[in-house]
Amino acid sequence: MAKILCVLYDDPVDGFPKSYARDDIPTLDGYPSGQTLPTPSAIDFRPGELLGSVSGELGLREFLAGLGHTFIVTSDKDGADSVFERELPGADIVISQPFWPAYLTAARIAKAPRLKLAVTAGIGSDHVDLQAASEHGLTVAEVTYSNSISVSEHVVMLILSLVRNYIPSYQWVVNGGWNIADCVSRSYDLEGMDVGTVAAGRIGTAVLRRLKPFGVKLHYTDRHRLPESVERDLDVTFHPDAESMVRVCDVVTINAPLHPETEHMFNDAMIGKMKRGSYLVNTARGKICDRDAVVRALQSGQLAGYAGDVWFPQPAPRDHPWRTMPHHGMTPHVSGTSLSAQARYAAGVREILECWFDGRPIREEYLIVDKGKLAGAGAHSYSAGNATGGSDEAERFRQQTK
């Protein structure tokens, strides 16, 4: 029997929901690419429930208990005395989420001799040292596409929030004011602007499709160029690298995975090449941007706004400067964990586990590392190496909230 160690985020501060704002969520027939949704043999939850927090347990408790496996669920993931650290040496499988990641560093992998499978409940497995995973023969899998559209919707929301100065305007209402001049002194129309995405994979392409009706000029850069028919349909301009693209854009949205080639891509030099007063949106990974370079650019006016929901580490310490920098639209990492998305990634995790326990192949598109090398979606999106360095700083959030 296996020991499965699952790290999820905390329940709501007022307790696990007894009811929800909606009675159901729409049923999808498939993803835009034609890829099928997760296909587990069954699910033990109602779609639309809160599954990503500790009490939700990804809807896996009944399934795993029925097979006789040990299932440990915790939100205590950082530091030498954390539940995750204590339980990891005996774990066969680790399940984690990008929103509240259990960083599987090389040191932690070395402490877990029984570990064979690391599953990301969602997309983006950079919280795992992929190099160490390859060297130790781990399989790393994620639920590809499960929340890509969720994130793309969030990107459009953030772009409009920045350009139209929504958040400060909302705050004037909350504070009892009617300060129209203050609200509109930083408000512009998105129409006619040049908008570019760094990476045009599932999320980036979905962003382009959603922005096209706004009457903007679209741009992208990616190491895999889109088919000519797609470029024509979207009326989008390809750029060979991010540097050439950002020079012409009013808005840049980052939709690339984090790996050694993208780590700190948006540093002082890259941001300095952007138009003065442009906007930067990052729902990919916080470490793609240099933390302090973003702060400096907002303070100087080089950037008119920065928004996103990804930080490094996660959770970010309370004194992280992105919490207090000017003209930002930051939230916790929520873009890909809507209740709609949770139903898909929870079902996908169960599908992966069913395949693993039955000795059946995991879907190729779910694989990140397999048989000692990048595989499936991992071979397409990542480069070899490690991007977990510095993740131990996440313990400071835990210490600051005690």
Gap between the Cα atoms of 12 and 16, Å rounded: 6
User: 54-70: per-residue pLDDT in tens?
Assistant: 999 999 999 999 999 99
Please say if the pLDDT value at position 223 is more than 80.
yes
Tell me if residue 282 is catalytic.
Answer: no
Mean pLDDT in residue range 326-354: 98
155-158 LR contacts (CB < 8 Å, sep 24+): 155/203, 155/207, 155/210, 155/253, 155/255, 155/281, 155/283, 155/335, 156/207, 156/210, 156/211, 158/281, 158/283, 158/307, 158/308, 158/329
Supply 308's token pair. 């996103």
Quote the pLDDT of residue 80.
Answer: 93
The closest alpha carbon to 225, from 203, 241, 244, belongs to 241
The CA-atom distances, in angstroms, between 179 and each of 102, 171, 182 are 44, 10, 5
User: 274-296: per-residue pLDDT in tens?
Assistant: 999 999 999 999 999 999 999 99
Which of 314, 327, 344, 350 is catalytic? The answer is 314
Quote the pLDDT of residue 398.
Answer: 79
Quote the pLDDT of residue 62.
Answer: 98
The closest alpha carbon to 6, from 93, 116, 130, belongs to 93
Quote the pLDDT of residue 220.
Answer: 98
Quote the pLDDT of residue 394.
Answer: 84
Quote the pLDDT of residue 402.
Answer: 67
Query: What's the DSSP call for residue 90?
Result: G
Gap between the Cα atoms of 200 and 208, Å rounded: 8
Question: How far is Cα of residue 121 from the mean position of the Cα atoms in its chain?
Answer: 11
Gap between the Cα atoms of 231 and 273, Å rounded: 25
Tell me if residue 333 is catalytic.
Answer: yes
Query: What's the DSSP call for residue 267?
Result: S
| Contact call for residues 92 and 115 (beta carbons, < 8 A) | yes
DSSP line for 105-118: -HHHHHT-TT--EE
Q: How confident is the model at residue 155 (pLDDT cuts 50, 70, 90)?
A: very high
Q: How confident is the model at residue 383 (pLDDT cuts 50, 70, 90)?
A: confident
Which of 147, 165, 282, 302 is catalytic? The answer is 147
User: 82-127: per-residue pLDDT in tens?
Assistant: 999 999 999 999 999 999 999 999 999 999 999 999 999 999 999 9
Residues 6+ apart with CB under 8 A from 68: 1
Single pTM value for the model: 0.96
| Contact call for residues 395 and 313 (beta carbons, < 8 A) | no
Give the ranges where 61-114 is alpha helix by DSSP (H). Answer: 61-66, 83-87, 106-110
Which of 154, 259, 285, 396 is catalytic? The answer is 285
Tell me if residue 255 is catalytic.
Answer: no
Residues 6+ apart with CB under 8 A from 133: 104, 109, 118, 140, 369
Please say if the pLDDT value at position 395 is more than 90.
no
Percent of the chain exceeding pLDDT 70 equals 100
Which of 333, 350, 363, 396 is catalytic? The answer is 333
CB burial class (10 A; 0-12, 13-18, 19+) of residue 398?
A: middle
The CA-atom distances, in angstroms, between 396 and each of 140, 202, 288, 307, 360 are 27, 34, 21, 23, 41
Mean predicted lDDT score pLDDT of the chain: 97
Q: Domains, the chain, ranges and CATH?
A: 3-146+337-374+383-393 (3.40.50.720), 148-330 (3.40.50.720)
User: 341-361: per-residue pLDDT in tens?
Assistant: 999 999 999 999 999 999 999
Quote the pLDDT of residue 163.
Answer: 98
Quote the pLDDT of residue 3.
Answer: 98
| Contact call for residues 344 and 38 (beta carbons, < 8 A) | yes
Tell me if residue 296 is catalytic.
Answer: no
Region of poorest pLDDT, from 183-187, 194-198, 387-391:
387-391
